[in-house]
Each structure stands twice: as C-alpha cells, then as structure tokens.
Amino acid sequence: MSAGPLALPLLGASPDSPFPPPASALREPDGLLAVGGDLAPTRLINAYRHGIFPWFSQGQPILWWSPDPRMVFRTDGVGLSTRFRRTLRKSRWTLRADTAFAEVVSACASVPRSGQRGTWITPAMRAAYLALHRLGHAHSVEVYDEGTLAGGIYGVAIGRMFFGESMFNARSGGSKVALAGLARMLHRWGWPLVDAQVESQHLVSLGANAMPREDFLRRVGALVDMAEPSGPWTARFGEWPATSLAETPAFCAGPGCVSE
C-alpha cells in the first residue's frame, strides 16, 4: 500500500488485497481508513467482515470507513412509539423481503437528505449492491401499501450479522416499519445486531446505541462466521401485516426510545 489523499493507505489492485487495521483509522473525520480499490463483491464482503464499509460521493475516490464508536441496533431494541403503533393498528401495509431490491436501492438514492447535496448511492454503488444481492449477500425489506412501496431498507448479510445501508419513506413511517420488521425477523432467527454505521438523531430516536469499535469488531468477528442459509429471503421472511408490529410493545428501553 502507498499513501493516498490525506496520507491514507491506498488499497491494492487485487479485490482480495487486505485492508489496514480499523484501529489505524483517522479520528477526524472519524473512521476514515483507506482509499481506492474497487467495489468488487470479494472486496466488499471482506470489508464488511472486518467492520469496514465504503462511503463516498460522486466524483470522489472510493473511501473506506470504520468509525469509533459504531451505531448499532439490538434486534430486540428497535423502538416504535405508542402513538405510531396506534396508527399501525389501522394500517393495510404488508411486509416482504427481496421482492423489490433494486427499487429499494433506487428509492434510497433519490431521497433528499438534510444537509446533503446529491447522494452517496452512486451508480457504481447501486451496481455493486445489486451484484451482492444476486450472490445472496444483500437483502431488502419492503413495506407495501396495497401494492405500492411505502418504504424499505436494504443492507448486507454475512453469517448472522446484518449491516444496514439505507432506508427510505414513500409514506410517512414507511422506513420505521421496514426497520422494525427487519429487526423483529432477525431477532426470531437469532441475529442479535443491525449495524447502523454512524450516529444520527433519527437513528437514536429509534433505539440505536453507540458501541465502542473494539467491542463491535469482536461481536462482528464471531457473528459473520455463523452458518446461515444462503439465497433470497423472500420465502423465509414471508409476507405479514404491519399491524402485527402494532401489537408488539416498543422493544427499546434505552434513552433514545420514545413512548409517546
């Protein structure tokens, strides 16, 4: 490896070339670890297995990150407010998985983000995650309102670890339902964590908590080696009504959770 922008390590040309240790990441900006390489499935899977993810904007080189602390959800710790669960009791929404992966990624790319111009989900990133999806490593959970997408979430699954990438609303609350539905099903499967990457007030309000990077990497290292069925989640996840989430008490008991 040689030095790249900001004196960062430059990744080797081979997709299976190693990453630098996450502990060597910059403190400012928090977690910036390396630059370059490509978005080949081999490199992406290797990155996630080691608690590293790509995040860059159009026109930038590929940047790789491993922030400290890391924001995570416990799969039994996603909080839906009492008020929101009351609205779900009247909902006709349904949840499915891997029935519209490309549409979910495109919708996430087009959602305006506060304080951001454009999107980090570039055409190259979309193509990369579609390739992972075809290989059975990337999945989406969709929320449907009478056949129309109301919201969704997508990310990468390795072993029993889910690395969340992005979520969107087409109807108010659609992303919350997608996240809560994903967490509920993962909890039933025995998957304890969802990676949420970096802190935002919205994630905290839903129950995300900060985990020291060292602890996160230790947990990930064990979870990614656990055997799980490969392939699409469509049949395994099934189709079920969002009203069932309304009858589940808010999972989260932490300071980020809301009860009203």
pLDDT in tens, 87-132: 999 999 999 999 999 999 999 998 754 444 446 789 999 999 999 9
Q: Which domains does the chain have, with CATH numbers?
A: 5-68 (3.30.70.3550), 71-246 (3.40.630.70)
Higher pLDDT, 54 or 119: 54
**250 pLDDT higher than 60:** no
- What whole-number distance in Å separates Cα of residue 117 and Cα of residue 104? 20
Higher pLDDT, 197 or 118: 197
- What are residue 94's DSSP bridge partners? 144, 241
- What whole-number distance in Å separates Cα of residue 197 and Cα of residue 230? 24
Query: What pLDDT score was predicted for residue 32?
Result: 97
As a whole number, mean pLDDT of residues 207-226 equals 98
**216 pLDDT higher than 50:** yes
Model confidence at 1, in pLDDT bands (50, 70, 90)?
very low
Residue 232, classified by CB atoms within 10 Å of its CB into exposed (0-12), middle (13-18) or buried (19+), is middle
**8 pLDDT higher than 70:** yes
Average predicted confidence (pLDDT) for the chain: 90
Q: What is the pTM of this model?
A: 0.91
Bond into 54 cis (ω within 30): no
- Residues above pLDDT 90, as percent of the chain: 83
What is the gyration radius of the CA atoms in the chain, in angstroms?
18
Query: What pLDDT score was predicted for residue 247?
Result: 76
As a whole number, mean pLDDT of residues 41-53 equals 98
**178 pLDDT higher than 60:** yes
As a whole number, mean pLDDT of residues 23-30 equals 96
Number of Cα atoms under 13 Å in the Cβ half of residue 173:
17
Residues 12/37, Cβ–Cβ less than 8 Å: yes
Of 7-11, 18-22, 189-193, give the lowest mean pLDDT range: 7-11
Of 101-110, 125-134, 138-147, 240-249, give the lowest mean pLDDT range: 240-249
Query: What pLDDT score was predicted for residue 256?
Result: 39
